[in-house]
Amino acid sequence: MTATGPVPSEGAEALRQRAADALLAARERTAVLTTCVEEPDLTAQHSPLMSPLVWDLAHIGNQEELWLLRAVGGAEALRPDIDKVYDAFEHPRAERPSLPLLPPAEARNYVADVRSRVLDVLERTPLNGGGPLIDAGFAFGMIAQHEQQHDETMLITHQLRRGPAALSAPPPPPAPAGAAALAAEVLVPGGPFTMGTSTEPWALDNERPAHTRDVPAFFIDTVPVSNGAYARFIEDGGYDDPRWWAAEGWAHIREHGLAAPLFWHRDGGGPWLRRRFGVTEPVPEAEPVLHISWYEADAYARWAGRRLPTETEWEKAARHDPATGRSRRYPWGDADPAPEHANLGQRHLQPAPVGSYPEGASPLGVRQLMGDVWEWTSSDFLPYPGFAAFPYREYSQVFFGSAHKVLRGGSFAVDPVACRGTFRNWDLPIRRQIFSGFRTARDVA
429 — alpha (psi -120 to 50), left (phi > 0) or beta? Answer: alpha
Phi, psi of 149 (to 5 degrees): -65, -40
- What per-residue confidence (pLDDT) applies to 7? 61
- What per-residue confidence (pLDDT) applies to 157? 98
Short-list 201, 217, 209, CA closest to 316: 217
Torsion over CA: 382, 385, 389, 390 (sign): negative
Angle between helices 53-64 and 12-35 (to 10 degrees): 160
- What per-residue confidence (pLDDT) applies to 338? 97
- What per-residue confidence (pLDDT) applies to 1? 41
- What per-residue confidence (pLDDT) applies to 4? 78
Short-list 253, 221, 224, CA closest to 237: 253
Whether the predicted model's global pTM rises above the 0.85 cut: yes
Angle between helices 138-160 and 12-35 (to 10 degrees): 20
| pLDDT values of the chain reduced to their tens digit, one per residue, 445 residues | 467 777 656 788 999 999 999 999 999 999 999 999 999 999 999 999 999 999 999 999 999 999 999 999 999 999 999 999 999 999 999 999 999 999 999 999 999 999 999 999 999 999 988 899 999 999 999 999 999 999 999 999 999 999 999 999 999 999 999 999 999 999 999 999 999 999 999 999 999 999 999 999 999 999 999 999 999 999 999 999 999 999 999 999 999 999 999 999 999 889 999 999 999 999 999 999 999 999 999 999 999 999 999 999 999 999 999 999 999 999 999 999 999 999 999 999 999 999 999 999 999 999 999 999 999 999 999 999 999 999 999 999 999 999 999 999 999 999 999 999 999 999 999 999 999 999 999 999 8
- What per-residue confidence (pLDDT) applies to 6? 74
Q: Which domains does the chain have, with CATH numbers?
A: 12-160 (1.20.120), 179-226+299-443 (3.90.1580.10)
User: Which positions ≥6 away from 158 have C-beta within 8 Å?
Assistant: 33, 36, 37, 166, 167, 277
> What confidence tens digit (pLDDT) does each residue in 127-140 have?
988 899 999 999 99
Contact 266, 272 (CB under 8 A): yes
Query: How far, in Å, CA of 368 to CA of 186, rounded?
Result: 13
Instruction: Kindly give the pairing relationship between strand 436-437 and strand 374-381.
Output: parallel
Contact 72, 121 (CB under 8 A): yes
User: Is the bond preceding 391 in cis, omega lying within 30 degrees of 0?
Assistant: yes
Short-list 360, 371, 374, CA closest to 424: 374
